[in-house]
Amino acid sequence: MVPDDVALLKRIVSNPKVLGGKPIVRDTRLPVSLILNFVANGMTVEEICKEYPQLEDEDIRAALVFAEKVTEGEGVLDENVADFVKPLVL
pTM of structure:
0.79
Tens digit of each residue's pLDDT (9 = 90 or more) over 36-71 = 999 999 999 999 999 999 999 999 999 999 999 888
Torsion of CA 42, 25, 56, 65, to 10 degrees: -60
Is residue 15 within 8 A of residue 21, CB to CB? The reply is yes
Q: Is pLDDT at 31 greater than 60 in this prediction?
A: yes
pLDDT value for 76: 61
Could you give the CA distance from residue 18 to residue 28 in angstroms, rounded to a whole number? 9
